[in-house]
Structure 1
Amino acid sequence: MLSKDNIGKMMKYRWVIFAVLALVYFFVYFHRVSPAVMAGDLMTTFGVGATSMGLLGSVYFYAYALMQIPSGIMSDKFGPRRVVAVFTLVTAAGAILTGIATDFNMVIMGRLLIGIGAAAVYIPIMKMLSIWFRKNEFATQSGMMLAVGNIGALSAAAPLAYLNTALGWQTVFTGLGVASIALAILSYIVVRDKPSEMGFANIEDIEAHENGETVSAEAKPAENISIMDSIKMVLGKKSFWPLAIWFFFYYGSLMAYQGLWAGPYLKDILGWDKATYAGLLTFIGIGLIIGCPVSGYIADKVLKSRKKTLIIGTIMYTLLWFAVWYFNGMDNPLFYKILYLLFGFFAGFFVVCYGQVKSLFPISITGTSTSLLNFFPFFGGAVLQQVCGLVIASYGLNALGGYTSAGYQMAWLLLAVGMVIATICVYFSEEKGL
């Protein structure tokens, strides 16, 4: 039914779904970057060093990367609602296990479960956005969702440091587990896979109605593409691979820095305490919160081109990586506030790539196509966090027992060079019109 009342109800209810999924996604990002603040406490509690922390940081991303394809397939087959609810419970189990850990192996296992659970949240959310929002709203809504996620990352900086000091890191993780259980129940109750499940018109019909068109059978998304055929369709498309390689370095470098090594760097090289460096790291989160929705809006409404938006963001982000490398050891908090704000802002332009890859394939395999792309940034995060740990450790310790400036600077140079490769790749990516 394409009545005004029906369309109005659909347009309102999609924001209820968006709000619930945004709450879930908030904690995905919170978990993702929390080691940057808690690394020192974990090393002290369990007597481990940079190599072990590199493993702890990377295990989340290995799990996240390996779960991308299954999460996309499950989203297409079973529906996003069930996938989000079940795997949020897995995240809860990992958080609780971390909270009660008595040795570092339990922390590793908890981190693994958190990675598995969190991995199966974003792809269903992207599928939900493609089902409940118009095509020319997708990049903007993706940016808004990622902005909420980055508020979670922001909360995992200074606020987490304060909670950690007041309550202890294990109490914090146990509380996160309880909150995740509540969110799993809420998402199952509120979220619906399709507007038709609520008796609402589908977004394709609404768009056609708004444009004075009818939706022909050919325009309807195909629903009978097999799992193997959908995977072959995505991996067999040459224009998929430049985006995949680009995403490996783009997001992998961000997670290597914001997600783990920035905190130890600011402590070891500049000697700043946790409250100081956690406060500075919030500026990356603030930049991301602004950059994600702004880049989506630029792609949808200003340039009306995802590729052009990505090229601009990638060039600026690459230049900022060379600034991180060149100014290694700069002892000036104001400098880092400005650098990190810009760093986060242009890092946030990555959100546009989801709309770009979605446009290349049928909507019925949105989960599969997005999950295959999403494998690469988290594989990049896993690899680059661990590589940075090995590089930093290879330069030994300084006189104060921390890692050396040369070790960190070499790690930053490797990440900057990776971004040069990403810049080249984004020029070879493909897009279809909005």
Structure 2
Amino acid sequence: MIGCVFLPFVAGYYLSYLFRTINTLISGQLSADLGLDAGNLGLLTSVYFLVFAGVQIPIGTLLDRFGPRRVQSALLLVAGGGAALFGAANDFGELLVARAMIGIGVSAAAMSGLKAIVTWFPRERVALANGYMIMLGALGAVTATTPTEWLLECTGWRGLFGLLALATFASALLIFWAVPEAARPQVTQSTAVKLRTIYTDRRFWRIAPLSASCIGSAWSLQALWAASWLTNVEGLNRESSIRQLFIMALGISAGAMLLGTLADRLRRHGIRSEVLFAAVTVLFVGGELALILRLPLPSLLPWLIISIVGSATVVSYALLAEYFPRELTGRANAGLNVLHFGWCFIVQYGTGLILDQWAVQDGRYPTIAYQVAFACAVGVQVLALGWFMIPWICLLGRRIAKFFLGDPEAKTCPVEGSATSAEDGVLEPDDEEW
């Protein structure tokens, strides 16, 4: 399973992460060669996430119907063609089309690997396997820092994308020839019925806004705006900036392993993954506020927190695997990915538009521009966290009311309640009620 299922899909996910974050390093050369401003650069980078989000639902359906082997290998051929076109592009329009092709081509990289894990691995080990897959795939973000800088010195950004095209074609062939064909499930319900099952589930809409606003923002910052912040706000030179981006990329990989292991261990002790996800969110918001408020901390610390949260899909995907049966996991992950990448597009492109509202001073945007742009995303995350915690807040309110009023039936809000695990003190929403 590891050699013929796990590692081939890891290779595809690795390339997906590399394509996602590589514009951080080549953005300066693209701007210099083609005269791109912040708005165009934000659109060029974020169109990857826009098309990525747009094809998630049909790809989730294809994964459930035809299996990850066929879908992933076919789409990676599209990504390889997009990489080849990107390296040969001569204007902004061609770059935009090529970037969109890459986004479509790697749009199934994560979901196909997750689908393969759910299909071939025991359910109780899904969170841990997800963690290892994302950890190894996130090495693509590591490659998009110092190693890519070395390649750029030898090949330039055009030659680099030629090499990426060859690697992507090779990965497509590896998956097609190495991965065994999984048994195709019998179709017992229409696609519309299955999608309605997911999108009408209250548990899905409890986790989805929080997961999208946090993970999507982390991806956006890591993929583009971290480099601009480090250069324009922190005043780091290119060498120092790339070194810090390299450490942040390692944080994604380490964070995936850490969160996957934590989710697995906590699950064994009866603590559900929702609790871990809430704690990660609070830490994420704290890291962003430390940057925005310019607290006297080493900038690497909050940026490491942000990079680790980019791997929190380990937790949210594992939650969906608990909520839905195996034949629906492809669509469920796709539904969540639509929100992840849709919000990432909004944050990435919107940040560029907000920055353009300030005049460039000495070749850089002022600090206040970045602070305003980042604060807008934080506001949405705080609202999503409040929505996520409503059942727990209501439960706490009822307990307080019961304590002071002595009425076991006391209610403090109109939202349906949740059961608790009194033995371990962890608040656990009841599946039937949610």
Fold shared, TM-score > 0.5 on shorter chain? yes
Residue in 2 that maps onto 1:415: 377
Query: Could you tell me which of 191, 195, 203 is aligned with 2:179?
Result: 191
- CA distance in structure 2 between the partners assigned to 1:90 and 1:425 by the alignment: 39
Query: Could you tell me which of 364, 368, 378 is aligned with 1:402?
Result: 364
One-letter amino acid of the structure 1 residue matched with residue 304 of structure 2: L
Contact persistence 1:76–1:364 (CA under 8 A): yes
Query: Could you tell me which of 25, 29, 32 is aligned with 1:37?
Result: 25
Query: Could you tell me which of 371, 374, 388 is aligned with 2:351?
Result: 388
Give 1:247-286 correspondences, 5 Å limit. Answer: 247-286=211-250
Residue in 2 that maps onto 1:216: none
- CA distance in structure 2 between the partners assigned to 1:408 and 1:16 by the alignment: 45
Rate the CA distance shift 1:106–1:168 in 2: closer, same or farther, 3 A.
same
- Name whichever of 135-144 and 15-24 sits farther off: 15-24
Rate the CA distance shift 1:225–1:367 in 2: closer, same or farther, 3 A.
same
One-letter amino acid of the structure 1 residue matched with residue 262 of structure 2: I
One-letter amino acid of the structure 2 residue matched with residue 320 of structure 1: G
Residue in 2 that maps onto 1:58: 46
One-letter amino acid of the structure 1 residue matched with residue 366 of structure 2: T
Q: Secondary structure of 1:348's match?
A: coil
Rate the CA distance shift 1:137–1:423 in 2: closer, same or farther, 3 A.
same
Give 1:155-234 correspondences, 5 Å limit. Answer: 155-194=143-182, 223-234=187-198
Residue in 1 that maps onto 2:284: 317
Give the structure-2-normalised TM-score: 0.86
One-letter amino acid of the structure 2 residue matched with residue 188 of structure 1: F
Deviation at 1:350?
Answer: 3.4
- CA distance in structure 2 between the partners assigned to 1:431 and 1:53 by the alignment: 45
Runs of 4+ in 1 over 4 A off after TM superposition: 428-433
- CA distance in structure 1 between the partners assigned to 2:340 and 2:430 by the alignment: 19
Rate the CA distance shift 1:300–1:193 in 2: closer, same or farther, 3 A.
farther
| Superposition RMSD in Å | 2.0
Residue in 2 that maps onto 1:326: 293
Residue in 2 that maps onto 1:344: 307
Residue in 1 that maps onto 2:424: none
Structure 2: runs of 5 or more not aligned: 392-428
Deviation at 1:158?
Answer: 2.0
- Name whichever of 362-371 and 90-99 sits farther off: 362-371
Deviation at 1:346?
Answer: 4.1
Give the structure-1-normalised TM-score: 0.86
Residue in 2 that maps onto 1:5: none
- CA distance in structure 2 between the partners assigned to 1:106 and 1:379 by the alignment: 22
- CA distance in structure 1 between the partners assigned to 2:2 and 2:231 by the alignment: 44
- CA distance in structure 1 between the partners assigned to 2:390 and 2:163 by the alignment: 45
The aligned length equals: 392
Larger relative contact order (C-alpha < 8 A, sep ≥ 6)?
1
Contact persistence 1:283–1:344 (CA under 8 A): no
Structure 1: runs of 5 or more not aligned: 1-12, 198-220
Q: Secondary structure of 2:312's match?
A: helix
Rate the CA distance shift 1:431–1:53 in 2: closer, same or farther, 3 A.
farther
Deviation at 1:372?
Answer: 0.8
Residue in 1 that maps onto 2:389: 427
Deviation at 1:348?
Answer: 2.7
Residue in 2 that maps onto 1:239: 203
Deviation at 1:270?
Answer: 3.6
Residue identity (%)? 27
2:316 is the alignment partner of 1:353: yes
Contact persistence 2:218–2:306 (CA under 8 A): no
One-letter amino acid of the structure 2 residue matched with residue 406 of structure 1: I
One-letter amino acid of the structure 2 residue matched with residue 231 of structure 1: L
Residues 193-215 of structure 1: CA distance to partner in whole angstroms, max 9, x if unpaired?
42x69xxxxxxxxxxxxxxxxxx
One-letter amino acid of the structure 2 residue matched with residue 319 of structure 1: G
Contact persistence 1:146–1:351 (CA under 8 A): yes
Deviation at 1:431?
Answer: 7.9
Residues 342-372 of structure 1: CA distance to partner in whole angstroms, max 9, x if unpaired?
3323443332011111221221111111111
Contact persistence 1:317–1:347 (CA under 8 A): no
Deviation at 1:388?
Answer: 0.6
Rate the CA distance shift 1:376–1:158 in 2: closer, same or farther, 3 A.
same
Give 1:64-213 correspondences, 5 Å limit. Answer: 64-194=52-182
